[in-house]
C-alpha cells in the first residue's frame, strides 16, 4: 500500500477527511486544522475483538459506534469515547461496519439488511480448523451471500485482539485484505494504514479462504524439516546409546550411564547437524544432474525434489541450531567432574606404571586441527544463518545472497567434512572401535557429503559445466521438451504452493 495521499477523486468521502494519526501538514509545516467530525466507523458485536478494535480505532482518530444486543450491559467495557448502542441504531451513519461476530451469528443480522444496504462490511472472523474444513466457502463469502447489496472486505483476521489493543509495536504488522469491490478495499486499506498496520492486497474475495487459513497454519514449511531432524536425533541417539553405553554394560559390565546427558548427546547433535547440512546441498546436486541428463531446464522436477528444494532453508537453519548446540556442549566437555576423575585416574595409572611425559604428537595435531576446523565451519554457517534473516536478506542483492548461501554454504560443508575426518582419523579402520559390529557414528554421516563434494567437483569439469550453463540459459538438447509442455503446465499449477 502506498504512503502517498490518494489522488482518486472518486474516493469515498470518508477518506477525504484527515485522520488524527495522519494529520495533513500545510506547506509552512504547521498542522492543518483537524475537522471536528472524525470519520465514523461501526462495530457489530461487543466481544473481545470488538473491544480491542474500538480502542485502537478511537486511538487512531476514528469515531466509533458499537452495535450490541445489550448495550447497557456492555457499554462499561468500551472506551468512553466509543458510543455503545443497539444494533439497529449503530448502523445509521457509518459507511464502514466491522462484523466482530462468529459465523454462526451472521444470519441474525439479516433483519437489518435494509439499513446495511450499500455499506462496507468488514469480515474479521477466524474459523476454527474444523469449521475451515467443514465449509467450502469462506466466512467472508458467506457474509457476502447474506448481504448481496453490501461490499464485503476480509481483513484483520490475522491480528489478535491483544495486538490490536497493544498497537502494532511488536508482532506482525501485515494485514492481508481482499474484496471484490476495489473501492471498498481501498477504504479499508487506508483505515488499516491509519491504525499503524500494513495492508497487503490479496485480490478478490475468493482469496478469503486462503486468508482465513493463515492463522491456522503453525510455522508453515517447518513440519517436515522438524520431523526429519527429530527422526535423525532419535536414530543417532539410539545408535550412540547402543555403542557407548549398552555395549560396555553388556560386554564388560561397566556402568557408563553417566554418559547419557552430555557425551551421548554431543555425539548425536553433531551427526544430526552434519547430515542435515548435507541434505541442504544434496537436492541442488540432484537437480543439476537431472538437468544434465534431460538436456533441458524446461521440464519440471519431480514433486519430491521440488518440495525438498523449497524446504532447504528450514533444514539449513535446523542444522545450524544443532551445530551451535554441539559447539556449546563441546566447550563444556572439560568442565565435567567425570572428565577430571578420568584425568586423575590416568595420571595415577601412569605414575604406578612409572611412565612419564605422555605426549603423542600425532594426537595433539589431530585435535588442534579438528577443533579449529569445527570453529571455522560454525562461523561460516552463522553467516548463512544471519543472511537468512529477512531484514538482512533484503539488504543484499541476489548475487550476494546466493554467494553466501550457495558458495559459503558449500564451504561450510567442506569444513565440516574436514572437521569430521580429522576427528575420526584412523578410527574407522580400528577393529576395537566396532561395537556389536556397529562402525563409529561419524562414518555413517560421511557418505552423502563426500558424494556431494565429488559431484560438485565433477560439475566443474569443463565439458559438464559448459553444458550445464548452456542448459541454464535455455539451450535444449533437440526434441527434449516439445511434447511435454501442456502436461508440465498442469503440473506446475498443481504443485505451485509454499
Ligand atoms: C544456516 C543456513 C541458513 C539458510 N538460509 C536460507 C535462506 O534464508 N534462504 C534459502 O533459500 N536457503 C537457505 N539455506 C539453504 C541453502 O543455503 C540454499 O538453498 C542454497 O542456495 C543452496 O545452494 P545450492 O548451491 O545447493 O543450490 P542452488 O543455488 O539452488 O543451485 C543448485 C545447483 O545449481 C547450480 N547453479 C545454480 N544456479 C546456477 C547458474 N545460474 N548457473 C550455473 N549453475 C547454477 C549450483 O551450483 C548447484 O549445483 C540455508 C542454509 C543454511 C545451512
Ligand atoms: N479474539 C481474537 O483475538 C480474534 C477474533 N477474531 C474474530 O472476531 C470475531 C469475534 O470474536 P470475539 O470478539 O473473540 O468473540 P466474542 O464471543 O467475545 O464476541 C462475539 C460477539 O458477537 C455478538 N453477537 C451478535 N449476535 C450474537 C448472537 N446471536 N449470539 C452470540 N453473540 C452475538 C456479541 O455481542 P453482543 O452481545 O453485544 O451483541 C458478542 O460479544 C470472531 O469471528 C473471531 O473469529 C479475529 C481475530 C482475532
Ligand atoms: C565451534 C565449533 C565446533 C567445535 C568446538 C566442535 C568440537 C567437536 C568436538 C570436541 C568433537 C568430538 C566430540 C567427542 O569427543 O565426542 C566433535 C565431533 C564432531 N563434530 Fe564438531 N565442533 C564444532 C563444529 C562442528 C560443526 C559446524 C559440525 C557440522 C555441521 C560438526 C560436526 C561434528 C561431527 C560430525 C563430529 C563427530 C561426532 C562423532 O561421531 O563422535 N562440528 N566436534
Ligand atoms: Cu511443502
Ligand atoms: Fe460453522
Give the tens place of pLDDT for each residue, 216-235: 887 778 999 999 999 999 99
Say which residue the cell 462468529 belongs to. 102
Taking the CA of 396 as reference, the closest ligand is 1
Establish whether residue 85 lines the binding site of ligand 1, counting it when its CB lies within 6 angstroms of any ligand atom: no
Q: How far apart are CA 265 and CA 344, in angstroms?
A: 24
ipTM of the complex: 0.80
> Separation of 270 CA from ligand 1 center, angstroms?
22
Q: What residue's CA is closest to ligand 2, atom 5? A: 49
Residue 477 is classified by DSSP as -
Q: What residue's CA is closest to ligand 1, atom 44? A: 469
Is the separation of the CB atoms in 85 and 65 below 8 Å?
Answer: yes
Which protein residues touch ligand 3 with a CB less than 6 Å away? Answer: 266-267, 270-271, 273-274, 277, 323, 326-327, 330, 371, 374-375, 377-378, 381, 416, 419-420, 423, 441-442, 445
> Separation of 407 CA from ligand 5 center, angstroms?
51
Taking the CA of 307 as reference, the closest ligand is 4
Q: Which of 405, 453, 472 for mutating ligand 1's site (highest number of atoms within 8 Å of CB)?
A: 405
Task: Kindly report the average pLDDT of the chain as a whole number.
Answer: 87
Establish whether residue 158 lines the binding site of ligand 2, counting it when its CB lies within 6 angstroms of any ligand atom: no
* Alpha-carbon separation of residue 27 from 6, 7, 22, 33 (angstroms): 18, 18, 15, 13
Taking the CA of 45 as reference, the closest ligand is 2
User: Does pLDDT of 321 surpass 70?
Assistant: yes
pLDDT tens sequence across 189-208 = 999 999 999 999 999 999 99
List residues bridging with 99 in a β-sheet: 44, 123
| CA-atom Rg of the chain in angstroms | 32
Establish whether residue 62 lines the binding site of ligand 2, counting it when its CB lies within 6 angstroms of any ligand atom: no
Cα–Cα nearest to 115, from 100, 139, 141, 93: 93
| Overall pTM surpassing 0.80 (yes/no) | no
pLDDT tens sequence across 244-303 = 999 999 999 999 999 999 999 999 999 999 999 999 999 999 999 999 998 888 888 999
> Separation of 150 CA from ligand 2 center, angstroms?
20
Number of H helices, E strands in the chain: 23, 8
pLDDT tens sequence across 363-381 = 999 999 999 999 999 999 9
Cell of 254: 561397566
Amino acid at each position: 500500500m502506498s504512503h502517498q495521499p490518494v489522488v482518486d477523486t472518486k474516493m469515498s468521502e470518508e477518506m477525504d477527511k484527515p485522520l488524527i494519526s495522519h494529520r495533513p501538514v500545510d506547506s509552512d509545516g504547521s498542522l492543518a486544522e483537524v475537522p471536528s467530525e472524525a470519520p465514523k466507523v461501526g462495530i457489530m458485536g461487543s466481544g473481545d475483538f470488538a473491544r480491542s478494535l474500538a480502542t485502537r480505532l478511537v486511538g487512531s482518530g476514528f469515531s466509533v459506534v458499537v452495535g450490541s444486543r445489550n448495550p447497557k450491559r456492555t457499554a462499561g467495557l468500551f472506551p468512553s469515547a466509543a458510543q455503545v448502542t443497539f444494533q439497529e441504531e449503530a448502523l445509521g451513519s457509518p459507511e464502514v461496519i466491522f462484523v466482530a461476530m462468529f459465523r454462526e451469528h451472521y444470519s441474525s443480522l439479516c433483519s437489518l439488511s435494509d439499513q446495511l444496504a450499500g455499506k462496507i462490511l468488514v469480515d474479521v472472523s477466524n474459523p476454527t480448523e474444523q469449521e475451515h474444513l467443514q465449509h467450502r466457502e469462506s466466512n467472508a463469502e458467506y457474509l457476502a451471500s447474506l448481504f448481496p447489496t453490501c461490499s464485503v472486505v476480509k481483513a484483520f483476521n490475522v491480528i489478535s485482539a491483544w495486538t490490536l489493543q497493544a498497537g502494532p509495536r511488536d508482532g506482525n504488522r501485515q494485514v492481508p485484505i481482499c474484496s471484490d469491490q476495489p473501492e471498498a478495499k481501498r477504504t479499508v486499506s487506508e483505515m488499516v494504514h491509519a491504525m499503524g498496520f500494513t495492508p497487503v492486497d490479496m485480490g478478490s474475495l475468493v482469496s478469503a479462504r486462503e486468508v482465513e487459513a493463515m492463522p491456522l497454519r503453525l510455522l508453515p514449511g517447518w513440519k517436515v524439516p522438524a520431523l526429519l531432524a527429530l527422526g535423525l536425533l532419535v536414530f543417532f541417539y539410539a545408535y550412540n546409546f547402543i555403542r557407548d553405553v549398552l555395549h560396555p554394560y553388556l560386554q564388560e559390565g561397566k556402568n557408563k550411564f553417566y554418559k547419557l546427558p552430555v557425551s551421548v548427546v554431543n555425539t548425536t547433535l553433531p551427526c544430526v547437524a552434519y547430515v542435515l547440512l548435507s541434505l541442504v546441498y544434496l537436492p541442488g546436486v540432484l537437480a543439476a544432474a537431472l538437468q544434465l541428463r534431460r538436456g533441458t531446464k524446461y521440464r519440471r522436477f519431480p514433486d519430491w525434489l521440488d518440495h525438498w528444494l523449497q524446504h532447504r532453508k528450514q533444514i539449513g537453519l535446523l542444522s545450524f541450531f544443532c551445530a551451535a548446540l554441539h559447539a556449546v556442549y563441546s566447550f563444556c566437555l572439560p568442565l565435567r567432574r567425570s572428565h577430571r576423575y578420568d584425568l586423575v585416574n590416568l595420571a595415577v595409572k601412569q605414575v604406578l606404571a612409572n611412565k612419564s611425559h605422555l605426549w603423542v604428537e600425532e594426537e595433539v595435531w589431530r585435535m588442534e586441527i579438528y577443533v579449529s576446523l569445527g570453529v571455522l565451519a560454525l562461523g561460516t554457517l552463522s553467516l548463512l544463518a544471519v543472511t537468512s534473516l529477512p531484514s538482512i536478506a533484503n539488504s543484499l542483492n541476489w548475487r550476494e545472497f546466493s554467494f553466501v548461501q550457495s558458495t559459503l554454504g558449500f564451504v561450510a560443508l567442506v569444513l565440516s567434512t574436514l572437521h569430521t575426518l580429522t576427528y575420526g582419523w584412523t578410527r574407522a579402520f580400528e577393529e576395537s572401535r566396532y561395537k556389536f559390529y556397529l562402525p563409529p557414528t561419524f562414518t555413517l554421516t560421511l557418505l552423502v557429503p563426500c558424494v556431494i563434494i565429488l559431484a560438485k567437483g565433477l560439475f566443474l569439469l569443463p565439458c559438464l559445466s559448459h553444458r550445464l550453463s548452456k542448459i541454464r540459459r535455455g539451450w535444449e538438447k533437440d526434441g527434449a521438451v516439445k511434447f511435454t509442455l501442456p502436461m508440465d503446465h498442469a503440473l506446475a499449477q498443481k504443485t505451485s504452493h509454499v
